[in-house]
């Protein structure tokens, strides 16, 4: 299973090279009932030119078509609800966007999964007399344990994977976070069997971070590393963050 921003490619006819278009979805896999966020950008847009969206199912049946307006900077975002009589075939769906009268085209794919969407669960973590509930959902396995590793600013998950799958975690910011020097969000480091993988992160809020991590059937331990973890640091946060962020940069360079 692969979850993350899906790739896109574009084609421009010879007479329309000045205009180009991109398209992507916010995830690679969806369940019936999910919301898909389709977004992209048109470079050098033409005034009053239409953007047409088409979605085809795994049998190349057209399940959705609509025209949308671009924002002033040429970007577009189209929310799409998965469901209805036309969304009856599972498998790989194609998203096709066409712009302008010269038919500048881009397309990408996503997968509609034939299984029940996992329900949210909660794992309770006790840390020095304080309890924290970590909401999560998992496909392809179960969670055995979650352990806080203070020296590494990490949350270690023990899982029982029955097949290739993914786990989605809602990490409360007052429990754990990853920050840059300027206070903006940094990506979490995720290690599986000592190797760094790239998670996907969506639906950020001021209260939590939603992180989705793919795993294989043979995987049993996932380590999520940030720059801060409860309890709050007893020393100056800016000084400590310099060391932590520097260590993360060095670590990423080392394992690559």
Same-domain check for residues 125 and 212? yes
- 235, with CB counted inside 10 A (0-12, 13-18, 19+), is exposed
Q: 219, 158 in Cβ contact below 8 A?
A: no
**pLDDT score recorded for residue 203:** 60
| CA 8-11-15 angle, 5° bins | 155
CATH of the domain at 30: 2.60.40.1930
Does 142 lie in the same domain as 90? no
User: Peptide bond preceding 93: is omega within 30 degrees of 0, i.e. cis?
Assistant: no
Model pTM score = 0.54
Whose tokens are 């500048």? That residue is 104
Per-residue pLDDT of the chain (256 residues; tens, 9 = 90+): 444 445 554 444 444 446 689 999 998 888 888 899 999 999 888 877 889 999 999 999 999 999 999 998 999 999 999 988 899 898 999 999 999 766 789 999 999 987 666 778 999 998 777 888 999 999 889 999 999 988 889 999 999 998 888 899 999 998 999 999 998 899 999 999 889 998 888 766 889 999 988 888 899 999 999 998 875 544 334 444 445 455 555 455 555 5
DSSP designation for 154: E
Q: How far apart are CA 98 and CA 53, in angstroms?
A: 7
Q: State the pLDDT at residue 33.
A: 83
The predicted pLDDT at position 128 comes to 74
The DSSP 8-state label assigned to residue 61 in this structure reads -
Q: How many CA atoms lie within 13 A of 78 on its CB side?
A: 25
Report if residue 4 sits inside a domain.
Answer: no
Domain endpoint, select from 78, 95, 112: 112
As a whole number of angstroms, the distance between CA 256 and CA 239 comes to 27
Report yes or no on 1 lying in a domain. Answer: no
pLDDT the model gives residue 29: 86
Last residue of a domain, one of 112, 130, 152: 112
User: Cα separation of 19 and 11, whole Å?
Assistant: 10
Q: Under a CB-based contact definition with an 8 Å cutoff, are residues 147 and 223 in contact?
A: no
Which residues constitute the domain of residue 161? 121-255
Q: Which has the closest alpha carbon to 80: 130, 27, 14?
A: 27
CA–CA dist 182, 238 (Å, integer): 10
Asked if 204 and 185 touch (Cβ cutoff 8 Å), the reply is yes
Task: Indicate whether 244 belongs to any domain.
Answer: yes
Q: 41, 76 in Cβ contact below 8 A? A: yes
- Looking at the domain assignment, is residue 3 inside a domain? no
Indicate whether 104 and 165 sit together in one domain. no
User: CA–CA separation, 232 vs 249, rounded Å?
Assistant: 22
In angstroms, rounded to a whole number, what is the distance separating the alpha carbons of residues 24 and 53?
12
Residues 69 and 165 in one domain: no
Establish if 79 belongs to a structural domain: yes
Residue 126 and residue 236 in one domain? yes
Statement to judge: residues 79 and 196 lie in one domain: no
| 128, two tokens | 């020095």
């Amino acid at each position: 299973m692969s979850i993350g921003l899906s790739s896109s490619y574009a084609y421009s006819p010879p007479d329309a090279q000045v205009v180009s278009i991109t398209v992507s979805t916010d995830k690679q896999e969806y369940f019936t009932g999910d919301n898909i966020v389709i977004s992209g950008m048109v470079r050098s847009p033409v005034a009053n030119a239409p953007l047409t969206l088409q979605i085809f199912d795994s049998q190349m049946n057209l399940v959705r078509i609509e025209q949308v307006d671009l924002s002033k900077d040429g970007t577009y975002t189209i929310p799409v609800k998965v469901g209805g009589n036309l969304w009856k075939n599972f498998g790989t769906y194609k998203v096709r966007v066409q712009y302008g009268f010269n038919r500048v085209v881009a397309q990408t794919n996503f997968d509609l999964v034939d299984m029940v969407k996992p329900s949210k669960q909660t794992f309770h973590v006790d840390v020095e007399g304080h309890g924290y509930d970590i909401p999560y959902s998992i496909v392809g396995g179960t969670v055995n344990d979650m352990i806080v590793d203070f020296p590494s600013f990490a949350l270690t998950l023990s899982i029982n994977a029955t097949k290739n799958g993914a786990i989605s975690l809602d990490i409360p910011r007052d429990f754990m976070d990853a920050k840059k020097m300027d206070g903006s969000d940094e990506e979490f480091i995720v290690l599986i069997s000592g190797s760094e993988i790239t998670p996907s992160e969506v639906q950020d809020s001021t209260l939590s971070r939603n992180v989705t991590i793919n795993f294989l059937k043979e995987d049993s331990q996932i380590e999520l590393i940030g720059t801060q973890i409860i309890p709050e640091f007893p020393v100056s946060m800016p000084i400590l963050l310099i060391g932590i962020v520097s260590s993360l940069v060095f670590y990423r360079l080392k394992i690559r």
